């Protein structure tokens, strides 16, 4: 998959460095495993989707249907390999990551920006903005390791740690896909697999 992704991006004129390949290698199997644990192996996943008219790309977008309403449902996923992170000087917007040289944006804020951009740009969400949600998934982190980032209830709604993934995957399929309309993966947002059209044969 790593090679295929790099080739696809190269056709778009995007050079993929060793660091990005390493991120795919570490994060994508974790996402696939948690989707499988939640019974969502058949949910469609768009990787490295470029935001229109920008150079920014989302890590993943899950595409399915809402299990209660049956309507289209999409979850933008921002994958982070962080194991420990703290707010910088009590600033909700900036995060100090253990072992990193520079400050980072709060991952919930980052993914919220992607979601809002797509809602504003895509006419498909003009009248149904809630069909698109987002989550930052810190698949190497425990709740304790990122407790600072979970302090804000609003920001915590769009953030999930490894512990939260484990807790949700032990639930029944009907609860883990999705658990809430806020779109948390691995709780797993508002997506269940799309039904395939039946053959006439």
Closest CA to 34 of 190, 193, 187: 187
Q: What pLDDT does 198 receive?
A: 41
Predicted confidence (pLDDT) at residue 187 exceeds the cutoff of 70:
no
**Model pLDDT for residues 74-105, shown as the tens digit of each residue:** 999 999 999 999 999 978 889 999 989 999 99
Position 35 pLDDT exceeds 50: yes
Angstrom distance (rounded) from CA 133 to CA 116: 9
pLDDT interval class at 194 (50, 70, 90): low
Whole-number Å distance between alpha carbons of 175 and 184: 12
Distance in angstroms (rounded) separating the CA atoms of residues 82 and 160:
12
Instruction: Give the start-to-end residue ranges of the domains of the chain.
Output: 2-176
The answer to whether the bond into 186 is cis (omega within 30° of 0) is yes
pLDDT for res 173: 27
How many other C-beta atoms are found inside a 10 Å radius of the C-beta of residue 4?
Answer: 9
Tens of pLDDT, residues 104-163: 999 999 999 999 999 999 988 999 999 999 999 999 999 999 999 988 888 888 888 887
Q: What is the rounded average pLDDT for all residues in the chain?
A: 81
Higher pLDDT pick, 199 / 126:
126
Q: Is the dihedral of CA 112, 114, 118, 121 positive or negative?
A: positive
Read off the tokens for 84.
Answer: 């420990």
Which residue is associated with the tokens 């899950």?
62
């Amino acid at each position: 998959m790593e090679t295929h992704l790099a080739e696809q991006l190269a056709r778009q004129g995007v050079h993929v460095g060793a660091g990005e390949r390493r991120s795919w290698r570490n994060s994508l199997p974790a996402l696939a495993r948690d989707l499988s644990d939640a019974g969502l192996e058949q949910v469609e996943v768009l990787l490295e989707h470029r935001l229109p008219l920008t150079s920014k790309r989302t890590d993943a977008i899950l595409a399915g249907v809402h299990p209660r309403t049956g309507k289209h449902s999409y979850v933008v996923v921002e994958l982070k390999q962080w194991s420990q992170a703290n707010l910088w000087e009590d600033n909700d917007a900036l995060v100090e990551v253990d072992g990193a040289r520079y400050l980072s944006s709060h991952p919930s804020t980052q993914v919220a920006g992607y979601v809002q951009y797509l809602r504003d740009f895509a006419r498909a969400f003009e009248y149904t903005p809630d069909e698109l949600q987002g989550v930052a998934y810190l698949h190497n982190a425990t709740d304790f390791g990122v407790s600072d980032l979970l302090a804000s209830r609003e920001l915590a709604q769009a953030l999930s740690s490894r512990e939260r993934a484990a807790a949700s995957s032990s639930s029944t399929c009907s609860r883990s896909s999705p658990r809430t309309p806020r779109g948390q993966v691995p709780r797993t947002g508002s997506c269940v697999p799309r039904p395939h059209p039946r053959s006439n044969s």
